[in-house]
Amino acid sequence: MDLNAARMSTLSLILAGGRGSRLKHLTNHRSKPAVPIAGKYKIIDFPLSNCINSGMRKIAVLTQYRSHTLNQHVQRGWNFLRSDFNEFIELWPAQQQTGEDWYRGTADAVYQNFKMIDELNSEYILILAGDHVYRQDYSVMLQEHIENKADVTVACIEVPVKEADQFGIMHVDENDNIIAFEEKPSNPPTMPGNPNVSLASMGIYIFSTKFLRENLMNDAQDCDSSHDFGKDLIPLFVGRSKIKAHHFANSCIPNDSYPEKPYWRDVGTLTAYWESNMDLTKLVPELDLYDESWPIRTTHYQRPAAKFNYNYEERIGTALNSVVSAGCIVSGSTVEQSILFNNVRVNSYSHVKKCVVLPRCDIGRHCQLTNVVVDSDTKIPPNTIIGEDPIEDAKRFYRNEDGIVLVTQEMIDLLQD
């Protein structure tokens, strides 16, 4: 089978039902894949764009937790494929198709949808997480899977051994056969010849459909299983099936300025989310969103261009080392090393530094914000200072151990009651 035929015979499943509780209040009203990121996108846009750019055009997004915002985003911005060419992006909500349980884990989410999967007669299934930020050509991984005649191929990335306890860690032989797999080990195996690096699973898998069906049916009957790919199925396959590692460096879309640093981020914590956004304010970010050869798509709305008002001594509308999105107004204020999402207004005499300000926020006059994430639709009252006094910040808002402060409209309302 040539690569083009293989891509046409591949079904991509994006697991987008996660609660994302480590992002705290950002996921109170939306699922993790629907969280805004990078000025104009949502996290789900990255795996969706990777699929389209890789030539994978049969895509199902599996949803469950607080999915309205995500559903709306996909329906409005990702409905351009041609059904008459057998291309689609569909939303598959949890429907209790196999019993009375909602999705019990990542593997169970796929198992509960196998009736629909079978109807598509796909030879391969690509499993993706809906909450990671990266650029990857999945067709390269698919070609490896086919050439190796593998039952399952797992995408992997090198991580410092001190961070390895946050991931599923693989041990491979000289031919990239996975010979051991441990989920978040306390004493992780390292790569041969490099004791400082471990090989981490990215939560990206390619299965031969028949092999996956048989194993999911067995897993569904196992009362001791948590029905999760990383915890249960992948370790089970080691030593019993042909399970191969695919190195992300072989299929990532390179940034010429960082040729030795493949970019992949799990933005599952508030600090990781803030850092990922802050990286985009650098002169040359590790994630190149300006690469027209591999565009990241999203839902588009008609908005005016960003606007900067006033040029009077202390009242100068200025943005320095920042990303300012369409619809924003910086009115007599200073924005420094920050990201303003669509339709944000920063009013006169305010200073916003190292902040992530989500859509439709309004920062009042004479405010000072440092190291703050402001959730969508939040109105910061005039004269508010955040990021200077850790004790006061923790009393009024959510402040994590790294000093990142999260502010929502609900928190502002409680202060004003």
Per run of 10 residues, the mean pLDDT along the chain (length 417 residues) is 91 88 93 95 97 96 92 94 89 75 84 92 95 96 97 95 90 91 87 86 95 92 88 91 96 90 92 96 94 94 96 93 98 98 98 98 98 98 98 97 97 90
Residue 65, annotated as binding a ligand: no
Question: 161: which 2 tokens?
Answer: 């051994």
Q: Which amino acid is it at 87?
A: E
Show Cβ contacts of residue 6 under 8 Å, excluding neighbours closer than 6 positions: 123, 124, 142, 143, 146
Question: 370: which 2 tokens?
Answer: 């440092």
Question: 68: which 2 tokens?
Answer: 């309205």
Instruction: Please report the pLDDT score of residue 346 as a whole number.
Output: 98
Residue 184, annotated as binding a ligand: yes
Q: Are 18 and 131 in contact (CB under 8 A)?
A: yes
- C-alpha 62/C-alpha 51 separation (Å) is 15
Core vs surface per residue 242-265: b (16+ CB within 10 A) or e: ebbbbbbeebbbbbeeeeeebbbb
Q: Are 68 and 19 in contact (CB under 8 A)?
A: no
- C-alpha 297/C-alpha 124 separation (Å) is 25
Residue 58, annotated as binding a ligand: no
CA distances from 35 to 25, 310, 376, 416 (A): 11, 33, 10, 27
Instruction: Please report the pLDDT score of residue 184 as a whole number.
Output: 86
Residue 201, annotated as binding a ligand: yes
Residue 103, annotated as binding a ligand: yes
Instruction: Please report the pLDDT score of residue 88 as a whole number.
Output: 95
- C-alpha 143/C-alpha 146 separation (Å) is 5
